[in-house]
Amino acid sequence: MAPDRVHFFDTTLRDGEQSPGCSMTQHEKLQISHSLADLGVDILEAGFAISSDGDFAAIDAIAREVRGPVIASLARSKSGDIERAAQALKRAHRSRIHIFLASSDLHLEYKLKMSREEALDQAARSVALARTLVDEVEFSPEDSTRTDQEFLCRIVAVAIEAGATVINLPDTVGYAVPGDYAAMFRMIRERVPGAGNVILSAHTHDDLGLAVANALAAIEAGARQVECTINGIGERAGNAALEEIAAALHVRADYFPVEHGLRLDHLYSVSQLLGRTISFSPSPNKAIVGSNAFAHEAGIHQHGVLSNPLTYEIMTPASVGVPSNRMVLGKHSGRHALRSRLVALGYHLAPEDLDIAYRAFTELADRKKAIYDQDLINLVAHHQRHEDLINDETVSKPN
């Protein structure tokens, strides 16, 4: 039997842009949209049409110019929002309105001043309206993970009956842990009539550092759409990082027997483009795309990677579009890494000279946080001049 397909719903331009320091111009949104289409995302949430004229114009431009993904706009469960979203999407090859309505008692009472019954009625009417205007309708009961389970089942059932083809169960505030989040998806599949005929979707936030873990737990429990962003940007601590979910599905294909349409070797370039566009890049230790993701300084690790990269790398840099791994020379590095770097610089040292060079290198590394190629060249040149390191018989430098 063929594996199930997981659809990647990218919300970098909507939920991602809502985070401080991440706003983008229309031109920048278009540029990133084309890169996301090349990456192979299935759905591209281009913005929130009712929120501003700028967002409307960006969605309209993306709908006109970008082909491949379904183009989506967010909308509240209000007719004005839905009609505005449909207008922005009218030139899309395939269009989706993503409707959200809070379902937790906390949000209903304090934010919306609405009863449960009023929410059910509003969900039904809004989905039915959207179904007449666009190709696809997605419904999100906001704050699903803090919603009474019985009521969550009721509002999901109402949305499905009204015509929603995708049901998204968002962990809006990053409250869930993987076991509970997976159990919620299983509950919906078991208890809601028609749930087997729609795509269930996960949308997770990283407030507890569990966004990717929760998204993967949802996939294991039957979710076949994941909502995520490049570099994990998003409200507060961010969204689930698209590149981390994709890499996990690739590396652990033995555990997740699913398919997707992403071109993994595009991940790094899209990440770099986003970093140049907004006000910050991924942190160095960011998984998959951070500058240290394939960097090694410890001598034991460097020796292992030089012998066989699989010793300390569970995927190749090229598989996610990173040009190569990096051997970072510092006080934790060993002889193997130093020799490899010196050879790359054109210096071939005899074993006894390498020992002398390594001692000089460690003394330097204790004084400097970072060792650069020029430092090594200077180190070799210094000892050549004083005849303490090597002579013409023990070193050869290529032309």
Q: Are strands 166-171 and 199-204 parallel, antiparallel or unpaired?
A: parallel
Give the separation between CA 214 and CA 10, rounded to whole angstroms. 17
User: Residues 148-197: pLDDT tens digits?
Assistant: 999 999 999 999 999 999 999 999 999 999 999 999 999 999 999 999 99
Half-sphere exposure of 393 (CA within 13 A, CB side): 1
- Domain range annotation of the chain: 4-277, 295-396
Q: Per-residue confidence at 302, pLDDT binned at 50, 70, 90?
A: low
Mean pLDDT of 218-240: 98
Q: For the beta carbon of residue 315, count every other beta carbon within 10 angstroms.
A: 17
State which H helix or E strand residue 48 sits in: strand 43-48
State which H helix or E strand residue 167 sits in: strand 166-171
Q: Residues of 75-111 as b/e, b for ≥16 C-beta within 10 angstroms?
A: bbbbeebbbbbbebbeebebbbbbbbbbbbeebbeee
Mean pLDDT of 221-234: 98
Mention every residue, 6+ apart, whose C-beta is less than 8 A from residue 65.
30, 33, 34
Q: Per-residue confidence at 78, pLDDT binned at 50, 70, 90?
A: very high
Q: What is the pLDDT of residue 159?
A: 98
Q: Per-residue confidence at 2, pLDDT binned at 50, 70, 90?
A: low
Q: Tell me the C-alpha to C-alpha distance, in Å, between residue 159 and each of 47, 97, 180, 213, 360.
A: 22, 13, 23, 27, 70
Q: What is the pLDDT of residue 394?
A: 45
Q: Is the pLDDT of residue 109 over 50?
A: yes
Q: What is the pLDDT of residue 209?
A: 98
Please tell me the pTM assigned to this model: 0.86
Q: What is the DSSP letter of 278?
A: S
The terminus-to-terminus CA distance of the chain in angstroms comes to: 59
* Higher per-residue confidence, 350 vs 297: 350
Q: Is the pLDDT of residue 393 over 50?
A: no
Give the separation between CA 399 and CA 385, rounded to whole angstroms. 20
Q: What is the pLDDT of residue 324?
A: 65
Can you say whether the dihedral through the CA atoms of 194, 89, 263, 232 is positive or negative? negative
Give the separation between CA 116 and CA 112, rounded to whole angstroms. 11
Can you say whether the dihedral through the CA atoms of 237, 7, 223, 163 is positive or negative? positive
User: Residues 234-247: pLDDT tens digits?
Assistant: 999 999 999 999 99
Q: What is the pLDDT of residue 388?
A: 46
pLDDT averaged over every residue in the chain? 90
- Determine which of 30-44, 135-149, 267-281, 297-311 has the lowest per-residue pLDDT on average: 297-311
Q: Which CATH number fits domain 4-277: 3.40.47.10, 3.20.20.70, 1.10.1200.10, 1.50.10.10?
A: 3.20.20.70
User: Residues 81-108: pLDDT tens digits?
Assistant: 999 999 999 999 999 999 999 999 999 9
The distance of Cα 291 from the centroid of its chain, to the nearest Å, equals 15
User: Residues 279-298: pLDDT tens digits?
Assistant: 999 998 999 998 877 765 55
Q: What is the pLDDT of residue 244?
A: 98
Q: What is the DSSP letter of 232?
A: G
Q: Is the pLDDT of residue 370 over 50?
A: yes
* Higher per-residue confidence, 197 vs 344: 197
